[in-house]
Amino acid sequence: MAPSRIAQTALYQEVAERLRQRIFAHELPPGIRIDEQLLTVDYGISRTPLREALKVLAAEGLVTLRPRRGCFVTEISEQDLDEIFPVMAMLEGRCALEATHRAQAGEIAELEAIHRQLEFFASSNQIERFFEANQEFHLRIQEMSGNRWLRQAIQDLRKVLKLTRLFSLSIEGRLQQSLAEHAAILAAIRAGDAARAQTTMHDHILAGRQAVSRSQPQQEAMA
């Protein structure tokens, strides 16, 4: 009996991950209704693991369950962004502060290496690669903080932001501005100035929101 329960749990988690990736890739765009019958056929599963998977995604804010209407991929409004980014700024600012207090020489060296990648991708205008390195830069700071609760809260919000297709880094001057902001964050952490690290990270996230408000809905944009 126990092995059966474990297998069932693994199944709905796998279904949730597949749907999560399709949502992030916008194969299932915001606002679209999830066709449960089609998915059960495509995945060769019953309704039970699919519905359990949808509950997981609903808890993450990626889908919205509407009584008697079905399940829809969540749409993010401008008001949502106005509310999410200040929270992100507060959380990531705190993360930078704690990371600075705990930072070891080897961790700072790793962060410096990521920043060199950011410099290279910015100089060669490789926006997608810059975006990927940017994600890694923020993730490393979250790991350096040693605060799993902060990291979880930030990652949950970043999942929601992936529902948007906003491409701020293509705006003239934003790539170099973002690079300069990362350099300031790194300099503060390297100097052991936790308060400055917190402030620069906070301002960096809000600058990302300002850039998003000027961008067109083309691709994901994160601070």
Task: Read off the pLDDT of residues 181-192 as tens digits, 9 standing for 90 and up.
Answer: 999 999 999 999
Instruction: Report how far residue 112's alpha carbon sits from residue 183's, in angstroms, rounded to the nearest whole number.
Output: 9
189 and 146, same structural domain? yes
83 and 9, same structural domain? no
- Identify the band that residue 174 occupies on the pLDDT scale cut at 50, 70 and 90: confident
- Identify the band that residue 26 occupies on the pLDDT scale cut at 50, 70 and 90: confident
84 and 141, same structural domain? yes
113 and 171, same structural domain? yes
158 and 48, same structural domain? no
Instruction: Report how far residue 205's alpha carbon sits from residue 191's, in angstroms, rounded to the nearest whole number.
Output: 21
129 and 158, same structural domain? yes
122 and 88, same structural domain? yes
Is residue 220's pLDDT more than 70? no
CB 127 within 8 A of CB 169: yes
Is residue 219's pLDDT more than 60? no
CB 163 within 8 A of CB 75: yes
- Identify the band that residue 165 occupies on the pLDDT scale cut at 50, 70 and 90: low
CB 144 within 8 A of CB 85: no
Q: Is residue 53 part of a domain?
A: yes
Which of 19, 49, 73 delimits the end of a domain?
73
139 and 87, same structural domain? yes
Residue (of 4, 209, 192, 219) closest to 103 by Cα position: 192
Which of 38, 73, 108 delimits the end of a domain?
73
Burial class (CB within 10 angstroms; exposed 0-12, middle 13-18, buried 19+) of 41? exposed
What is the CATH number for 102? 1.20.120.530
Q: Are strands 70-73 and 63-66 parallel, antiparallel or unpaired?
A: antiparallel
Q: What is the DSSP letter of 108?
A: H
- Identify the band that residue 216 occupies on the pLDDT scale cut at 50, 70 and 90: very low
58 and 41, same structural domain? yes
Instruction: Report how far residue 71's alpha carbon sits from residue 88's, in angstroms, rounded to the nearest whole number.
Output: 27
115 and 208, same structural domain? yes
Q: Is residue 175 part of a domain?
A: yes
Task: Read off the pLDDT of residues 117-149 as tens digits, 9 standing for 90 and up.
Answer: 999 999 998 888 998 999 999 999 999 999 999
Q: Is residue 219 part of a domain?
A: no
What is the structure's pLDDT at 78? Answer: 87
Task: Read off the pLDDT of residues 50-107 as tens digits, 9 standing for 90 and up.
Answer: 999 999 999 988 999 998 899 999 988 889 889 999 999 999 999 999 999 999 999 9
101 and 204, same structural domain? yes
Q: Count structural domains, the chain.
A: 2
Print the domain residue range for 40. 2-73
> 178 or 2: which carries more pLDDT confidence?
178
C-alpha distance from residue 220 to each of 85, 127, 138 (Å): 14, 11, 16
Mean pLDDT, all residues of the chain? 88
